[in-house]
Amino acid sequence: MSIDSHTFGPSWRTLAGIALALEILALLIWLDANRLPEQMTVGVGPSAAMRLVALFVAVLGVAHAMTAWGRRVRETEEGFAPRDAAPATNHAALAWILGGLAVLAACVQLGGGFIVGATALFVGTARAFGQPVSARSVGIGLVLTALVFLFFARVLSLSLPAGPLERLLLA
C-alpha cells in the first residue's frame, strides 16, 4: 500500500455529511431565490446571482459525494482509514485565513468598504497557502475584488458595503 496525498483527509463519512449539507444549502438558496421578485428593469436581477451560487454549491456537494464514494471504496478494499496517517493541522494557515475574515468583517462594519476588506482576506488566504505578503499579492487582491465589486454593482445592480474606494469607483 502506498501513502500518497489521497490518503490524507477526512473519512468518507465526514465527506458524505459535508456533501449532504452542501446539497441542502444549495436547495435552500435556490428556494430563497425563487421568492425574490423578478427584475423589472434592464439587467440581471438578484435571483439570477443566487441561482448561480446555488448551482455552484450543488456542484461542490456532488464533488464531495463523489470523493466520499471513492474514499469509501478505497477504505473498504485497503482497510486503511485516512485519519490513521493524517498530518497535523496547519494552525498558522488557519490563523491567516481567520484573520483575513476578521479584517473583512471589521472593514464592512466600520465603513472601510468591501474592496479593502476582501483584499485583506485575499492576502491572508494567499499567505496561508505559502505566498509571501507582498505588493504583488495586494495588487492582485485589489484588482480581483474591485472587479467583483463592479460586477455586483453594475451588472447585477446589487449593493455591497461601500467605503471610500468604492465611492471613488462608482463616481
pLDDT tens column, 119-170 = 999 999 999 998 889 999 999 999 999 999 988 888 877 778 888 888 888 8
The three cell numbers of residue 116 are 479593502
**Which class for 152: exposed (0-12), middle (13-18), buried (19 or more C-beta within 10 A)?**
middle
CA distances from 126 to 88, 103, 131, 135 (A): 20, 15, 5, 12
Cβ-based neighbour number of residue 55 at 10 Å: 13
Alpha-carbon distance of 134 to 122, in angstroms, equals 12
Question: Where in the chain are the domains?
Answer: 5-84, 91-170
For residue 170, the model assigns a pLDDT of: 81
Q: Is 101 left (phi over 0), alpha (psi -120 to 50) or beta?
A: alpha
* Element (DSSP H or E) covering residue 101: helix 91-110
**What's this model's pTM, rounded to 2 decimal places?**
0.60
Q: How far apart are CA 92 and CA 127, in angstroms?
A: 10
Q: Which of residues 148 and 79 earns the better pLDDT score?
A: 148
Q: What is the pLDDT of residue 122?
A: 95
Please tell me the predicted confidence (pLDDT) of residue 76. Answer: 77
Cell reading at 110: 466600520
Distance CA 139, CA 18 (A): 34
